[in-house]
Structure 1
């Protein structure tokens, strides 16, 4: 087979390498072309050198090109994969820092909540540019695989306004299944059969079986509470399991910021999170992790390049959906996974226009969703609260309506539990002014927002959050990795 895959945001070096090696684990794909594109020439050259080294080491005919000219990369592409973070870590830092001034403590801040909504405002205009280029220069039936957050908002915009065949992909379901398999004593997730459905990052294991035997709430709660690690790292997640009756796919820290109950007071935050790793609830945890990862890669790049000389091990193909979807579409080997698509009746008690994440099967005819799923009422209620925020956020991003943007932020569950309307109005003004370089649709609103900020009487505070850690130096990271290696 010979076709072209374009990867936008290919400068996300580690993830691009993973997708690349996964796809080359499919024997029929050795003759394809990868077209890498990014706004950073520096990052592009680093990832291209790594991928070229993999191709050379494995003696493959695979072609790898790299260009900052996105339209050129998309020419003739059959598949387009997006891993972009518009505004990079600079804008992301504002997504965390500014809401903290108004008492909003986020662990990740890239899906909803104040940070996720502004992230969507930056991404959606760029997503629509991608779609325009795809419609004009890619293959006629190009498929867009979106990995970038905020997943639901980006996918919603691409389908509804970009008019491109789009699927959103995430690995939360797989990670949740791995945890469940471990606490139940299964040898692998192959022993589990499950239906996991909802919206991205609020997906629920509504039917769970181990070797054909149904697993109920009480058994699952007992298994998690007995686990020596998860009982401490997933306290909030276990509490939601007890109350809702089903387990959520999302990590302890991420889940905490989608709900209005666990992060609204500093003493509550420290009660529910765990500081053994960023993902369990640390204030700005993913920002710290992303910053450290970037710094580490820049410093240790020669080691990453050397590691690329090893043969591809097909047994280590990851459970990221992309390579399995492409394999099913091109070879007709059926693949079952969980995909982000427009609802259209798949989940009976969620809005039809929402982007849902639910089971589906892929073959040469495309992605075919399992329809007629009904969520438990509490799960549906929680999802609908986020869907309403997502819908307003997408419409604001398309129209550049700053008043609608403020209403979207106001209706966010965690923001509403923490902040007053006056605080929300000022916070959004502050975020739009700080991120104006990445928000062209709000250019007309920036002068008035800046003027309002100059006369505002709303008080803010300089607050690092309930559980903030400093970015570690390269020396500290080296020492930690050496200690882990010695211990393990």
Structure 2
């Protein structure tokens, strides 16, 4: 993110934020912390969730954060019982949704693993990403339709994965929507580049916002072909780092104690040396797009050689109640309330759209030429300039042909899933599933895996013609 102006001419205005998925265990608390530290505008946050009690708990958390002495913002929080109540007249809509992991995400990971398909994340591409998309498309159609009816001029921020499919669904259902997909993966790469600059170029430690990058591609498979800091080419630092590594640098078991969210940029550097362009997402996401890093795996520990880990389904399932316990400990007074800046940009983007300066950062929006070699209308990730009530994507230029061919496969799959989701067509969805690079099975096994996932997640697939699907017969 680059703040291009200090203008703050709409000081103190009141806005309404409708939070869809208001029982969120992560993004809601991040937003509350950021708003507590925001003086430029205040207002009301309405929290809506299918789990009303979780939204109610978050409303109480928001009020608790707001009551702290260091909270300079002026915000009220309320849980509401309907989507319409959350969105009526909203200025901003924040989407952060997740189906119960034990009933969905666990199946997304465990059932493919029974067939020998290992996934490091399972929320964007591959079998897990495909089924998460199929579940999300009907939900995001409903959100878009509600925005169209209750707050058509609102700015919609989507944080939900699969980022591309969810954001694309919003536009397919309501072409006039003002929606952007927001992901922090590029920020983390900017932080890494800043660290490399300190280590290899002997510069004073910069903030990640000082690192200027040209972003192009699709979410979690984004690429950078220019990176500069104070006029210095940062690929010099990347080259120096690559020269010091013997890739892959690890052995199975070496990162057993590392967080599942950790990484050591081994895959990033390997792709850079092979293609001459730098990936701009974490390694645990990248390997699900370029699957030769996962194909040789016989045991989950084998992926450790690239300095990353598989995310076990137990972690996904257990993280939900653990997050709720942490919330309850704060509300009961057992744990202190600490207002901290989580390092996310969502409120800075709101400020820009409200007229408090201009910001340049990476967003996910439909392609209107910013990625000239990718399909028009598909959601792509590039830089954009945010100013008062405006998001202007910035031209990123073409990808190198070998990289473009990798990206295009996933664009085609995502567009196919959108069509399948809107038609309720599981046979069409299966074509995208079968075309996933991670699905390297015998044709009969691919059908069997797809059928097993449908059966396990049937309660979440009501919008699809399961009875009429040829692939399931």
Say whether the 8 Å CA contact 1:238–1:247 is kept in structure 2. yes
1:326 to 350, 353, 369: 350
TM-score by length of 2: 0.86
Query: Unaligned stretches of 5+ in structure 2?
Result: 1-12, 251-263
Equivalent residue number for residue 191 of structure 2: 178
Match of 1:2, SS state, is strand
- The yes-or-no answer on 1:281 pairing with 2:309 is yes
Q: Determine helix, strand or coil for the equivalent of 1:266.
A: coil
* Counterparts in 2 of 1:361 and 1:295: CA distance versus 1, 3 Å: same
Secondary structure, counterpart of 1:197 in structure 2:
strand
Q: 1:295 aligns with which of 321, 324, 330?
A: 321
Do the aligned residues in 1 keep the contact of 2:287 with 2:294 (CA within 8 Å)? yes
Indicate if the aligned counterparts of 1:256 and 1:281 stay in contact, CA closer than 8 A: no
Unaligned runs of 5+ in 1: 453-488
User: Displacement of 1:386 after TM fit?
Assistant: 0.7
Match of 1:258 among 265, 289, 294: 289
Task: Give the aligned CA root-mean-square deviation in angstroms.
Answer: 2.6
Give the corresponding residue for 1:8: 20
1:77 aligns with 2:90: yes
2-side partners of 1:273 and 1:380: how far apart? 28
Conservation of the 8 A alpha-carbon contact between 2:35 and 2:73: no
Between Structure 1 and Structure 2, which shows a larger proportion of helix residues? 1
Q: 2:129 matched to which residue of 1?
A: 116
What SS does the aligned partner of 1:254 have?
A: helix
Q: Deviations over 1:182-241 (max 9, x none)?
A: 12315132442211221100111210113211233x641431564899965332222111
Hey, what's the Cα distance between the residues in 2 that align with 1:320 and 1:229?
A: 31
- Alpha-carbon shift at residue 434 of structure 1 (Å): 1.5
Residue equivalent to 2:463: 441
Residue 212 (str. 1) matches residue 223 (str. 2)? no
Indicate conservation of the 8 Å contact 2:366/2:379, yes or no: yes
Aligned twin of 1:106:
119
Q: 1:87 to 1:122 in 2, by over 3 A?
A: farther
1:130 is matched with which residue?
143
Structure 2 residue aligned with 1:33: 44
Given that 1:234 and 1:273 are in contact with CA atoms closer than 8 Å, whether structure 2 keeps it comes out as: no
Query: Residue 427 of structure 1 aligns with which residue?
Result: 449
Hey, what's the Cα distance between the residues in 2 that align with 1:117 and 1:325? 30
SS in 2 for 1:158: helix
State the shift of 1:343 in Å: 0.7
- 2:280 pairs with 1:249: yes
Q: Cα deviations across residues 310-361 of structure 1 (Å, max 9, x unaligned)?
A: 574xxx5344232111100112410111000001111111111211000011
User: Which residue of structure 1 lines up, in the alignment, with residue 222 of structure 2?
Assistant: 203
Deviations 1:435-468 (A, max 9, x none): 1111112244379776x4xxxxxxxxxxxxxxxx
Distance 2:325 2:114 in 1: 33
| Higher alpha-carbon deviation: 89-98 or 318-327 | 318-327
Secondary structure of the structure 2 residue equivalent to 1:39? coil
Displacement of 1:55 = 1.5
Deviations 1:50-100, CA, capped at 9 Å, x for gaps: 111011223754221102322211111111110001344421111111112
Cross-structure match for 1:400: 424
Query: Are 1:62 and 2:93 matched, yes or no?
Result: no
Separation in 2 of the partners of 1:396 and 1:291? Answer: 28
Query: 2:267 matched to 1:236?
Result: yes
- Distance in 2 separating the partners of 1:410 and 1:206: 31
The two structures have a TM-score, normalised by structure 1, of: 0.83
Give the conservation status (yes or no) of the 8 Å contact 2:38–2:72. Answer: no
For the 8 Å contact 1:197–1:358, the answer to whether it is kept is yes
Distance 2:377 2:469 in 1: 34
Q: How many aligned residue pairs are there?
A: 438
With over 3 angstroms needed to count, the CA separation of the structure-2 counterparts of 1:238 and 1:60, relative to structure 1, is: closer
